[in-house]
A and B are shown apart, each in its own frame.
Chain A
Amino acid sequence: MSQDPLEGCRISAGKKSAVSLGKALHPPNLLVVVEGTCGACVAASPVSAPEGSCSYNVAHHHLCVCVRVCMAWQGLQKGETLASLKQESENLRRKLEEERGKLTDVELHQVAEKVETVAALSIKTRRVLKGHGNKVLSMDWCKDKRRLVSSSQDGKVIVWDAFTLNKEHGITLPCTWVMACAYAPSGCAVACGGLDNKCSVVPLSLDRNENVTAKKKSVAMHTNYVSGCSFTNSDMQLLTSSGDGTCALWDVESGQLLQSFHGHTADVLSLDLAPSETGNTFVSGGCDMKANVWDMRSGQNIQSFDNHQSDINCVKYYPSGDAFASASDDATCRFYDLRADREVAVYQKDSIIFGASSVDFSLSGRLLFAGYNDYTINVWDVLKGTRVSVLFGHENRVSRVRVSPDGTALCSASWDNTLRVSRT
């Protein structure tokens, strides 16, 4: 088709999503299928548009993300049948497997044989940050390596100097379950969001008595909860992931949506920006068990990995930007090589049966810290696939683990209302 079939399409937010096609589209033989996800949603029957416009109403609800508009279809092309399409599919799949097979000349554990083992680690908790009145859901380090921001279920966001244990700012949001928070690269602001479907930026101040909540500014607007947020290389842009199945890039100053990323078929739970010289990609993971890599410029999904068997709770890039790790409810963490375009390691143990909620790498990328729902943090040797250490101490599930920017410490946030800073 010469024209973009969805030109003139409008999707309005809210309880009902209506798709109406503009008159610019091809008359007869036009089909728009509004597809359900996860097999348990509203199963819609295809609607054909006689000429000009058609509209279809679909209920948009919370328990699973549903509406995804498929491409408009101009009927079968000449000589095309479902059988021929499926044959092509089979051929392509076989070709892809063949190509991948040719390039898989070695496995990670084989390469790791030549590397020396990691010496025994003894990691101790050095700070316990108490002050939240409810579950701590997320945290992020400041670039100054000692400050951090944390958010909790009771709507409070606290900015701490973890080194001196001073609470510097307390921000109260009008919603509960603040699932996402991020520190701006300059150290002058924080972003937070959650069940209010928004992500707001709060400029900080040198004056501790100043009420920073008053200067809060809404930036991102989603149609479902905000699960993750991150500033890009500056304070001016914010990247968010949401329960509405999309990720989005926003201009902080104006609140304008710069780019949106569609492709997940369920809630997106996590995102991470690539630490590379080009800095143009990010990875996201969601309830559709997929981890997707996106090009920030075009909004395109450039790579996808579907190895997990349950929701992906967290994704994090390897320090070089050429690989990433994921943590999932299926109690495994996985490691993916982006240049080889495949999963190269699975970190699991028969004794670990609870889901992993969060992962982060140590500075060199040798260690992978993973927080689990059984209150522990497991430290994995990324190359050899063995577990190097287990950290105990939290009294409820670990919601987030983050290594400080200079790699000197690990912070873990937990549903036991505390944050712990640990180091060797």
Chain B
Amino acid sequence: MTIRTARPNRGQHVPPRMHCLKKLEAIVVEMQDPKNGVKNSVQKLNVTTIPHAAAGNDIIAWINTKMKTTVEAQVFGTMLVAYGYIYPLKNHNKLVMCNDSSLYRFQTPYFWPTQKWVPEDSDYAIYLAKRNIRKKGQLEPYEQTHYNHLHEWLNHKWEFIVMQATEQYKAGRDRNKPDRVIFDCQERAYWMVNRPPVSLWLFVRGLNVFYQQAIMRSKVKSSVSLGALVKYITTYKNHDPFLAPCQPSNPWQTDHDAYWTLNMRRVEAPTKMRVERWSFSLFELLTDLRGRDDFKIFLKKEFSGENLAFWEAAEELKWGTASSMSTKAETIFKTFLAPGAPRWINIDGRTMGLTVKGLEHPHRYVLEAAQTHVFLLMKKDTFFRYLKSPTYKEIQKKALSPETHSFSPAQLQQNAQNRSPGIHPIILWQQEEEEKAKAAAASAPVDVKAVMSKIDRKK
């Protein structure tokens, strides 16, 4: 099979959950057992008497006994009504089980949800048309709207629908009154479950809003976006261990973890593949902390480290704990944004204004605009200069190209028996935190006044 772009199926309704329905079915059958099932009574409709009705409280009592529970019986009863196994005789549009003397009847298996027959729009149209034929003006407003909509939507087969409806109407007339009443109730209950009254106003309004948003959203030509997806795959092809071999070897294959030790966070010399990957995008360079370190070396030489420092601080704010937010926001303001700040970042006036104002009531995303601006600056300018810089060229030269492992079967066996435990991530994390603290202390802006007054005091 090749790729197909399927079109969304309009008019699709959620199919019932088959698995649980079989269980419900079994219970419903038990409930109708003449000996051990629910107590039966009769429904009196004017002159006609209709058998096999059951009171809500009797049904719930039966469920209590059967399932040995009192709490869930009513909810369970409501589920039976909601799925259409039992229908209420009064208040037919309220699909709940009431714990009183209100009457219910069991739905004929023909209308059970487990049947393979999915309620189609055309079936519903035939049903509504039939009711219209029987007596005009009998349809509820929501049904009338559905009817008009279906008339438009199924216009091409409307003659067929009316023909079917007429046939069914004629067949119905031939039945005796009690049977006819019962069937009408059953059918009405079935459609109440499968086409419930929904406020069409709100639905349509909501839908319109959604369409408008979808139209306004900027979209890109398929050739462009699909081209970008293909480009990504081509760029990373040689880095995908399922498509190209790992150097020196895939640890899962040879049981030797050199691949992981060579690519650790704080190696002196990274591998050539790793350094190549940094050149794919600024996002890759920053995500690999070893790459970020190298980038920082370059930025230090250019005396433009404040952009990255700001970006890192903003990330810490965004992903940090809720309680630390206001202190972090204050520090960031003092360090990067305040007039005369020691590591003042150069962003446009408008963004600066918005950010400073937002900091009066700091929230997680208060630095979003500034952070994006800074990131784009780095992405479009600094990153490319880094790739052409001596710093990058140096690390490329220094980078390792490990030789492919070739283990003999005996060696492989040995490897399997001596799998290295590596360093636990908790230990690595603790080391990282220490390094971060050291770096923060080292790069903290020097308070010139304090230093001068210290020197003065010494004198």
Give the interface of A toward B (CB within 8 A): 15, 31, 33, 35-36, 38-43, 45-46, 59, 61, 63-64, 70-71, 73, 76, 82, 85-86, 88-89, 92-93, 95-96, 99-100, 103-109, 111-112, 115, 118-119, 121, 123, 126-127, 142-147, 161, 163-164, 166, 186-188, 204-206, 232-234, 236-237, 251-254, 256, 258, 266, 276-278, 287-289, 297, 302-304, 306-307, 309-310, 318-320, 322-323, 337-350, 362-367, 382-386, 406-410, 421, 423-424
CA A312 to CA B403, docked complex, whole Å: 45
Q: Mark B200-229, 1 if CB is under 8 A from A, else 0.
A: 111011111011101101011111111111
Choose from B149, B224, B425 the contact partner of A188 (Cβ within 8 Å): B425
B5 adjacent to A365 (CB under 8 Å): no
Choose from A86, A127, A289, A318 the contact partner of B14 (Cβ within 8 Å): A289
Given known A307-B6, A363-B236, contact A96–B215 (CB-CB < 8 A): yes
A40-B113, A340-B225, A348-B4 given; 18 more Cβ-contact pairs under 8 Å: A15-B75, A41-B82, A43-B197, A46-B199, A61-B75, A82-B145, A92-B208, A103-B222, A106-B223, A144-B425, A146-B257, A233-B315, A297-B364, A310-B15, A340-B222, A364-B237, A385-B1, A408-B252
Give the interface of B toward A (CB within 8 A): 1-6, 8-9, 12-17, 20, 75, 78-79, 82-84, 93-96, 113, 145, 149, 192-202, 204-208, 210-212, 214-215, 217, 219-230, 232-237, 239-243, 246, 250-253, 257, 259-260, 263, 282-283, 286, 315, 318-323, 364-365, 368, 372, 375, 419, 421-422, 424-429
Given known A99-B215, A161-B421, contact A344–B232 (CB-CB < 8 A): no
Choose from A123, A251, A304 the contact partner of B322 (Cβ within 8 Å): A251
Which chain A positions have C-beta within 8 A of B427? 206
B321 adjacent to A278 (CB under 8 Å): no
21 A/B residue pairs, CB under 8 Å, sorted by A? A39-B13, A43-B196, A82-B200, A85-B201, A112-B230, A163-B252, A187-B428, A187-B429, A206-B424, A237-B319, A297-B364, A309-B12, A337-B222, A340-B226, A341-B219, A343-B5, A346-B4, A363-B240, A385-B3, A407-B241, A410-B242
Choose from B14, B95, B364 the contact partner of A288 (Cβ within 8 Å): B14
Min Cβ gap B261→A in Å is 11
A252 adjacent to B2 (CB under 8 Å): no
Number of A-B pairs, beta carbon distance below 8 Å:
318
CA A93 to CA B428, docked complex, whole Å: 54
Min Cβ gap B80→A in Å is 11
Which chain A positions have C-beta within 8 A of B195? 39
CA A298 to CA B83, docked complex, whole Å: 36
Min Cβ gap A142→B in Å is 6
A45 adjacent to B93 (CB under 8 Å): yes
Given known A93-B211, A323-B229, A340-B222, contact A423–B315 (CB-CB < 8 A): no
- Nearest to A58 among chain B residues (CB) is B96
CA A115 to CA B243, docked complex, whole Å: 14
A103 adjacent to B250 (CB under 8 Å): no
Which chain B positions have C-beta within 8 A of A410? 242
CA A240 to CA B132, docked complex, whole Å: 49
- Nearest to A118 among chain B residues (CB) is B243
CA A205 to CA B430, docked complex, whole Å: 12
A164 adjacent to B83 (CB under 8 Å): no
Given known A42-B96, A73-B202, A424-B242, contact A345–B5 (CB-CB < 8 A): yes
Given known A188-B429, A383-B233, contact A234–B202 (CB-CB < 8 A): no
